[in-house]
Structure formats: C-alpha cells, structure tokens
Structure 1
Amino acid sequence: MNGTTLAAERAKFDALAGQWWDPDGPMKPLHRMNALRTRWIADRLGGNLAGKTILDAGCGAGLAAEAFARMGATVTGLDAAGAALAAARTHAAAGGLAIEYRQGAPEDLLAEGARFDAVVALEVIEHVADRAQFCAALAALAKPGAPIFLSTLNRTARSFLFAKLGAEYLLRLLPVGTHDWRMFVTPGELGAALRPTGYRITELAGMSMSPTGQWRETRDLAVNYLAMARR
C-alpha cells in the first residue's frame, strides 16, 4: 500500500493501460460517461476553465484530464498506476496537450505544498484503502474556497445487479473483478468522510446509462452519481 492507494488496485488498472484509450475496449463505459461528468464539473466551475488549475486524482490514462485540458484548464493528473500514466503521457503528447502527469498518492503532492482551484476524483474513492484519509488529502490540496468533485458508485441492491453482475458478468462492459461492491460508497458515507475536513456535499446528480449506452444526468442516485462539495 502506498498512502491511500491499494497495491492490488494499482495492478488491476496497470494491466488495462494498453487498452485504456480504445473507445470500444474495457474502458468503454468511462469513454461514454466522460463527456457528462466533465461537463457537469465544468459548468459548476463557471463554464470557462481557462486559467484554472485542476487536480485529477486517480486520473488513470487521462480521459477526464484531457477533457479538462481541452477546455482550457491547467491540469495535473495523479495516479499510482505507472503503466496507466505512461499511456496517459503518450496520448496527451500525441494530441498536443500539456498535462503534467505525476505518479503517486495525494499525500505526495501535499508534501510539496501543491494547491488547486478544483480537485477532482472520478471513479476513485471506491478503490482506495482509507476513504477518510483520501478525502482529507483531497481537501488539503484544494485552495481556500475551491470545490471538490467526486463520482462513484452507490452501494445498493440495484448497483450490485447492474454495476457488478450486469456490467462485469452479463454484458461484459467491464473486465470481471473491476469493482468490489463492498467498497461502493453511499452518499451518506461520502458526506461523513468529507465532514471532518470542513467540506459538505452541496450538490448530487445521478448518472444513468440508456439501453444504447448513452449517459445522461438524472435524479436517480442508486447506481452512479456525481457530487460537489464545498466548505
């Protein structure tokens, strides 16, 4: 374990590094979800990201990081999975994007005194070793008044049926073993993990996938959801 990261989780996502940018590969759901989640965040940052610094914690191979960079933000992508970061650097360079990718945990950036206008952690908190410690590190990396954005999976019977059994075993949308349903995070648990940092959840939105694979914002938080927190 390295800080809030788990070695088994790093290895799992490193193994997918070579296929991360294939829109029809094992990360297909993230590709299709990406526009919804990054636009939702950008809208809450005022729409214009030019001049804003964003930390994408748990960035993987850079799907969200590249989207924010194309919107004008100065992006730092952070991940513990070295192979995924190598794929991120290669893809960003091919697209002419100047994204700073760093390998490590949020605690590593804290030691350097780094601070950001927004801190983002998408589909990450359900993979970390210690939620409270992870949220504390995210909060410490945010400038005064800066928001934190997270997306994750709710731990419900419906998420077990659709996001675990359906996505991994029936539809094969994700590799088997991508998620551990027991580590899914309810909105209440997310709020409790943030509370000691002074942050509170100010907005929640569900994300639902249509039968054709398109994602849309919804009020239904039972499976995938987005959260914005402020203090």
Structure 2
Amino acid sequence: MAVNTTIDPDEVAKFEAMAAEWWDTEGKFKPLHMLNPTRLDYIVDQICAEFDRDPTQPKPFDGLRLLDIGCGGGLLSEPMARLGATVVGADAAAGNIPVAQIHAEQSGLKIDYRNCTAESLAADGEKFDIVLNMEVVEHVADPLAYLTACQQLLKSNGLMICSTINRNPKSFLMTIIGAEYIMRWLPKGTHEYDKFITPDELVSLITNAGLQNVDRKGFVFNPLTWGWSISDRDLSVNYVTASVKAG
C-alpha cells in the first residue's frame, strides 16, 4: 500500500548534495555544529524532566526508544545513543544514511539508521518514547500532516521536541542574508522564508496534530561571544518547543 508523504523532493535534494560534509565543523553545517551543544542542553533537560531521569547517571536514557527524524549525519543521534537511548535515525535523503552509519561505527555506537519518512514509520506501527524533530518542519510540504505523523509515532505520554525558525524580518536577515549570503555557511536557497513558521503557528499545528505543547524557548546567537544560549523570552529567530502525547 502506498504511503502518503510530506517530503518535498527539492528540499531533500538540497541536503543530499551536502551529505558528505555533515561532520566537517568548518563546512556547510558549521551553524548546526555551533548550535548543537545548546540544542543538546535543552533536549536533555526536557527528557530528564518528562521521564524523571538523573542526567548525572552514566546512561540516564537507558530503556527509552528515541526517533531522530531528519537525522542528517547523526549530530543528535550519536549523543542520544551515548546517553543510553535506543536510537532510530531516519532521513528522507538517502545520501545522509551511509555518512551517519560510517561515523557511528567509527564512534563505536549502535544506531539504527534508515532512509525513510515519518509517514512510512507511522504506517509500519513504529512507536517511540521520544521524537526529536529538529529543523525539519520548515522543509516539509505539509507541516500539519507531518506533525500528525510524528504524533502517531509517539507512545502514550511520549515527548516530541521540535525546533524551527520564526518568520519575521529579523529571521530573514539572520538565517538567509547572514548565514547564506554574507557568512556563506550554507548554500544559497537552503532556507525558504515562506516556509518559516511563527511560534504561535507551530503551537497551533502541534495542538491540531493531537499533542499538548508544554514548553517553548528561543535559541539566541550572540555575535559578541560567537555563541548560542537558551532564552525564555527571545524566540525571534530560532526556537524550540516541547510537547507531550496525553496518555
């Protein structure tokens, strides 16, 4: 039976063309490498709070099954595996999977990487305690259908963490003009402004998909310190949400 999909072939092609550079900290994914520690801090805090885990333990996420949708080269999958989670990394761009597999093997990590979509996993009846949905929703053709598939992938009381980019003049200036045209961290055309989603829009989509939003915060870049931080108030460019599936 054919499974409907929300993937945008043009978006997949963009990231497949950059697949070999995922682990190059000075390459096209430099912005993600810079943001990654801040993303991980938020993710770890939310998972520990939701599942009553102690982050000081050697494997605090032991026994939790986690999906990293749009996993790319594994920048989030690998630390989640190190923390003890059973990780499935899924990406619609086939070229990303061997890159992620090779790096995981070199790192001594066991991660189940798959070239597939959220919709196909949901159709197969897969279930997870946690879905990491980071910087993906602004690249799909139908955000509500995509988030609904993510909701279907969660077990009761499961947690979805979803980050994306706000839509306003500041986000256009920083993520498109700044990152793509001035700094040239990303190829021109990586982001499409019309696909950016405001926090209120995302919360509405999450709610309509059948989840309850429980937290949202901003990821803020400071050009003076050349670093990222988490903000309770500033969601003007990059931001992240945590949502749960009622039991």
Alignment TM-score, normalising by the size of structure 1: 0.96
Which 5+ residue runs of structure 1 have no aligned equivalent? none
Residue pairs, 1:143-162, within 5 angstroms: 143-162=155-174
Report the more deviating stretch, 38-47 or 12-21.
38-47
The answer to whether residue 184 in structure 2 is matched with residue 172 in structure 1 is yes
SS at 1:145's partner residue?
strand
Which 5+ residue runs of structure 2 have no aligned equivalent? 49-54
Note the C-alpha offset of 1:198: 2.4
CA contact (8 A) 1:2 1:105 kept: no
Q: Distance in 1 between matches of 2:79 and 2:40?
A: 7
Partner residue of 1:42?
44
Once the two structures are superposed, residues 180-211 of structure 1 have per-residue CA deviations (whole angstroms, 9 ceiling, x without a partner) of 01101111111121122321221111001222
Residue pairs, 1:145-224, within 5 angstroms: 145-211=157-223, 212-218=225-231, 219-224=233-238
Partner residue of 1:115?
127
- Give the one of 145, 149, 165 matched to 1:133: 145
Note the C-alpha offset of 1:141: 0.2
CA contact (8 A) 1:201 1:228 kept: yes
CA contact (8 A) 2:4 2:119 kept: no
- Give the one of 55, 62, 87 matched to 1:75: 87
Partner residue of 1:229?
243
- Alignment length, in residue pairs? 231
Moved over 6 A (4+): none
Q: Distance in 1 between matches of 2:129 and 2:226?
A: 32
RMSD over equivalenced CA pairs, Å: 1.4
CA contact (8 A) 2:16 2:96 kept: yes
Residue pairs, 1:83-122, within 5 angstroms: 83-122=95-134
Partner residue of 2:17?
15
Query: Structure 1 residues 26 and 225 mapped into 2: Cα distance closer, same or farther (>3 Å)?
Result: same
| Percent identity over paired residues | 42
SS at 2:71's partner residue?
coil
Q: Distance in 2 between matches of 1:39 and 1:222?
A: 20
Q: Distance in 2 between matches of 1:3 and 1:172?
A: 31
SS at 1:89's partner residue?
helix
SS at 2:95's partner residue?
helix
Q: Distance in 1 between matches of 2:190 and 2:36?
A: 18
The answer to whether residue 63 in structure 2 is matched with residue 51 in structure 1 is yes
Q: Distance in 1 between matches of 2:226 and 2:80?
A: 23
CA contact (8 A) 2:127 2:153 kept: yes
Note the C-alpha offset of 1:177: 1.1
Letter in 2 for 1:43: D
Note the C-alpha offset of 1:2: 6.8
Query: Structure 1 residues 98 and 4 mapped into 2: Cα distance closer, same or farther (>3 Å)?
Result: same
Once the two structures are superposed, residues 135-161 of structure 1 have per-residue CA deviations (whole angstroms, 9 ceiling, x without a partner) of 100000000001111010000110011
Note the C-alpha offset of 1:35: 1.5
Note the C-alpha offset of 1:213: 3.0
CA contact (8 A) 1:42 1:49 kept: no
Note the C-alpha offset of 1:175: 1.6
Q: Distance in 2 between matches of 1:134 and 1:165?
A: 28
